[in-house]
Amino acid sequence: MSSNLDQLYRQVIMDHYKNPRNKGSIEDGALTIDMNNPTCGDRIHLTIQVEGGVVQDAKFDGEGCSISMSSASMMTQAIKGRNIDEALQLSHIFSDMMLGKEYDDSIDLGDIEALNGVSKFPARIKCATLAWKAMEKGVSEEKK
């Protein structure tokens, strides 16, 4: 990856960290998921409003490193307006990207693409995937 692209990705990640999108929580009837990463102390409180099988809103709160918090910000943006199956598909694509596997690049990942470089740092993968795992847990329970 070129150094210019690396720099751009770092800027995108830091922008989501310093100016998180969808920070906060949803009160009435939202799915609520709390997860943490004991190895580094990242924790997330995720709330998701699902109506008719579609994610109407998603918010997060928590604390952690720039990777975990920016990933949560990107994830909440990415799943809004998607049905549960699409949100889960996006999570699987993200997981494959984090593991350095081939992934379906026909779907525009937007800012999420900036996290691609995390796959080079195995210790940080759990940071990047924490919010996604929380979302998977929440929407999987909703599907049942």
Average pLDDT value for the chain: 93
Looking at the predicted structure, is the pLDDT value of residue 3 above 90?
Answer: no
Q: Is the dihedral of CA 58, 101, 6, 126 positive or negative?
A: positive
Q: Which residues contact 63 (CB under 8 A, 6 or more apart)?
A: 41, 42, 43, 69
- What integer pLDDT is reported at residue 2 of this predicted model? 66
Q: Is the dihedral of CA 68, 73, 76, 81 positive or negative?
A: negative
Side chain identity at 144, as an amino acid letter? K
Q: How far apart are the first and last CA of the chain?
A: 41
> Could you tell me the pTM of the whole model?
0.94
- What integer pLDDT is reported at residue 28 of this predicted model? 87
Whether 80 and 91 have beta carbons less than 8 Å apart is answered as: no
